[in-house]
Amino acid sequence: MIDLVLIWQLLVVFEVALFSSYTLVMYIYSKKEEQLPINNKLPTVTLVIPMYNEEKVIREKIENTSLIDYPEDKLEVIILDDYSTDSSEVISTKAINESSLKARVVKNDGGKGKARGLNWIFSKISSDITVITDSDALLKEDALLQIIKNFTDPKIGGATGKIVILSDKARFSKSQEDSYRFYFDVWRQGESKIASVSVCNGPLMGFRTELLHKIKIDPNAYADDSDMLYKIIKLGYRVVYDKKAVVYERVPLTVKGRTIQKMKRINGLRKVYLNNFQLIGKGRFGKIIYPYALLTHIVSPLVILLLTILYPLVMLKEPLYLGFLILLVLPKIGKIAVSFVTTQLIMNFSFLVPTGGSWEAVEDARYDLNSTNDK
């Protein structure tokens, strides 16, 4: 007879061992000092802002970009319009003219879609570094200077910044995201020190332009940021996480919007992971980081689903296990536990959301920040 309690216990042990070892290893490495070579000569940078129906946020993005601390003669700003059907182009052109920002709106001529648009624009960029940032994300004034510092190391081909969530602090979606972000920072810092990150933050990422000329983003990859990451790694370069390069991102205002957004990101990320299985066992990335990425994103969600399904049956046989529910109401621990379990469960059902569709979830994250303060 199958011992459900024993199976449940073994699954719990697997989850605890997986995430505690992952967090411990990454925490230890995150504390490791890494001295970058000093280079007082700043490289030329092209800042690309992909735009599709961003009329609610594009003016704020342009105003924010105009405040970036970087020499004007070394910075080019391109707003890449991906066949917008609203007033994005008109608003962005007017905002540029009214600001001190040296920027231009370029219509995507590489085929509809962010990945196709980026592939097309990369071939026309000649600056040393290309930085990509989302239209609905706001950069800290020194974000460019911070992320560019990483490229003094010739082995680093890319760098991604730290996301800080912008939204009403009382919202459930915001508190969940904050709980997750603490561990995300530890994991990414550790991965950077070992070799390369396993996930790239799309709101702010930079790459050596010469490397972007050698790759093509998968047009069907929703996670175009991580698709670029793995292609750069395959070229033999590191992609690192810089917690000092800060980008502010909105969280969808509803739990539904946040859930759909997570599902879409997970769909794209899983596809990237499975498409790069040949990296397993290659170098420190393939021996340490990539296996953990597969376990936490592919295997762990299934384990959490089984644990959840079996839990009522286990409690009937062993009522003492009801005590696990106490974890959910403990300060801080409860938020982390709810965020973790919710995210892992969502991963199992992410296939229900079309990767390229459901604009509703994206729209839910586009709003006037000032208007949320009074709600």
pLDDT per residue as tens digits for the range 40-51 = 789 999 999 999
- Non-local CB neighbours of 142 within 8 Å, separated by 6+ positions: 69, 244
pLDDT of residue 326: 81
pLDDT of 171 over the 60 cut: no
State how far the Cα of 191 lies from the Cα of 198, in Å rounded to an integer.
7
pLDDT of residue 343: 85
Please report, for the chain, the start and end positions of each structural domain, with discontinuous segments joined by +.
1-34+144-370
Token digits for 18?
């997986």
209, 122 Cβ separation under 8 angstroms: yes
pLDDT of residue 311: 93
pLDDT of residue 1: 63
> DSSP for 81-95?
E-S--SSHHHHHHHH
pLDDT of residue 364: 58
Among 8-17, 22-31, 33-42, 204-213, the least confident range: 33-42
pLDDT of residue 14: 97
pLDDT of residue 359: 41
pLDDT per residue as tens digits for the range 140-152 = 999 999 999 999 9
pLDDT of residue 178: 58
pLDDT of residue 46: 98
pLDDT of 77 over the 60 cut: yes
pLDDT of residue 116: 93
Three-class DSSP category at 105: strand
294, 273 Cβ separation under 8 angstroms: yes
* pLDDT above 70 coverage of the chain, percent: 90
H/E segment holding residue 161: strand 156-166
State how far the Cα of 157 lies from the Cα of 38, in Å rounded to an integer.
17
201, 161 Cβ separation under 8 angstroms: yes
Query: How many C-beta atoms surround the C-beta of residue 82 within 10 A?
Result: 20
| Structure confidence at residue 129 as a pLDDT band (50, 70, 90) | very high
pLDDT of residue 251: 75
| CA nearest to 158, candidates 48, 232, 78 | 232
pLDDT of residue 19: 95
What's the mean pLDDT when you consider all of the chain? 88
pLDDT of residue 341: 86
Which span out of 180-184, 198-202, 253-257 was modeled with the highest average pLDDT? 198-202
pLDDT of residue 370: 58
Looking only at the bridges linking them, the beta strands covering 75-81 and 103-107 are parallel
State mean pLDDT over 80-91. Answer: 95
Looking only at the bridges linking them, the beta strands covering 137-139 and 75-81 are unpaired
pTM beyond cutoff 0.95: no
C-alpha distances out from residue 60 to 63, 75, 129, 305, 350, Å: 5, 19, 24, 41, 32
pLDDT per residue as tens digits for the range 218-276 = 987 778 899 999 999 999 999 999 999 999 988 777 777 777 777 888 888 888 999 99
| Structure confidence at residue 367 as a pLDDT band (50, 70, 90) | low
> DSSP for 15-74?
HHHHHHHHHHHHHHHHTS--PPPP--SPPPEEEEEEESS-TTTHHHHHHHHTT--S-GGG
pLDDT of residue 373: 46
Query: How many C-beta atoms surround the C-beta of residue 153 within 10 A?
Result: 17
